[in-house]
Amino acid sequence: MLQEKSVVLIGAGNVATSLGYTLHRRGIPVTQVFSRTRESAQALAAKIGAEAVSRWELLRDDAGVYIVSLPDEVLTREVSRMVAGREQALWVHTAGSVPMQVWEGYASRYGVLYPLQTFSKAREVDLSRVPLFVEANSPQDTLFLRQWAGQLSEQVYEADSTQRKALHLSAVFACNFVNHLYAIADEWLARHGLPFETLLPLIDETARKVHALPPRQAQTGPAVRYDEATIQTHLNALEEWPEWQQLYERLSRDIQDMDSGQQHTPII
């Protein structure tokens, strides 16, 4: 029978840390944390009452669920070694762009538990409002994972590997690239002796706005107004920072292309 029993976390990075905290808080025992970096394993394990290990041969073999949050290429390289002798447990990874089939031929019960969120160790995130996307190699384990993940988050959905990859790519644009634009704005203000905090009401409203309006309808600014005088003023101001100048120009033209409907079809 499917039992949740205990969990082993493989990885101690941003995602594993957030999952570890939440599992611990929900009373789901994490018995072991594995990380190739001993200090990382210890730091997380100490906070959630788990054992820390950093050598594969010390990995426990009695857990019900193994959650693997490793860099994609490490997961692919080490899958055989980590699963060997533990084929009957449920193996899930948390990567957006690694297909579920990475487990095929190694584990017999496997899947994916993908949290669509940005995690940093310096900031704890309430996982209960984070959408979790699950997939498994059997209907039973899909159901099990749905229910099990339901203990962590109110928002659990099924997504196959293709959908998950699309989610991940969208998240890179809507989060990682967005944050980089915040970083550019921060640098630009700092160069002019202005505090980044000034922008926070604007950043907040920009995010809130797309709860109510589709992003295309929410678009404002010089590009969508075709205000070429302001665009040119800004490009001139960026003269000494050619990367940002090119980025400004490309994003402005792209906004205009989308506004004029030129970006609705792929080129082939």
Q: Using the rule CB under 8 A, is 150 a contact of a second copy?
A: no
- We find the least distance from the C-beta atom of residue 170 to a second copy, in angstroms, to be 4
Q: Are 146 and 75 in contact (CB under 8 A)?
A: no
Q: Using the rule CB under 8 A, is 5 a contact of a second copy?
A: no
* Interface segment toward a second copy; rule CB under 8 A; list 30-38, 48-56, 68-76, 100-108: 68-76
* Interface segment toward a second copy; rule CB under 8 A; list 17-25, 54-62, 104-112, 169-177: 169-177
Q: Kindly report the CA angle at 94 between 90 and 97, in degrees rounded to 5?
A: 120
Q: Using the rule CB under 8 A, is 21 a contact of a second copy?
A: no
- We find the least distance from the C-beta atom of residue 62 to a second copy, in angstroms, to be 32
Nearer to a second copy (CB atom), residue 2 or residue 171: 171
- We find the least distance from the C-beta atom of residue 205 to a second copy, in angstroms, to be 6
Q: Using the rule CB under 8 A, is 2 a contact of a second copy?
A: no
Q: Using the rule CB under 8 A, is 28 a contact of a second copy?
A: no
Q: Are 165 and 96 in contact (CB under 8 A)?
A: yes
Q: Using the rule CB under 8 A, is 100 a contact of a second copy?
A: no
d(CA 230, CA 73): 45
- Pairing verdict, β 65-68 and 51-53: unpaired
- We find the least distance from the C-beta atom of residue 30 to a second copy, in angstroms, to be 22
Alpha helix (H) ranges present in 49-160? 72-83, 139-149
Q: Using the rule CB under 8 A, is 62 a contact of a second copy?
A: no
Q: Using the rule CB under 8 A, is 222 a contact of a second copy?
A: yes
Q: Are 54 and 38 in contact (CB under 8 A)?
A: yes
Q: Which of 54, 97, 108, 151 is the binder for a second copy (CB under 8 A)?
A: 97
- We find the least distance from the C-beta atom of residue 125 to a second copy, in angstroms, to be 6
DSSP E strand boundaries for 20-106: 30-34, 51-53, 65-68, 90-93
d(CA 220, CA 114): 33
DSSP three-state, residue 112: strand
Nearer to a second copy (CB atom), residue 15 or residue 89: 15
Binding mask 170-209 for a second copy (x = CB under 8 A): xxxxxxxxxxxxxxxxxxxx-xxxx-x-xxxxxxxxxx-x
Summarize the chain as % helix, strand, coil (round to 5): 50, 15, 35
Q: Which of 89, 121, 123 is nearest to 106 (CA)?
A: 89
- We find the least distance from the C-beta atom of residue 8 to a second copy, in angstroms, to be 23
Q: Which of 123, 139, 260, 261 is the binder for a second copy (CB under 8 A)?
A: 123
- We find the least distance from the C-beta atom of residue 248 to a second copy, in angstroms, to be 7
d(CA 19, CA 113): 10
Q: Using the rule CB under 8 A, is 26 a contact of a second copy?
A: no
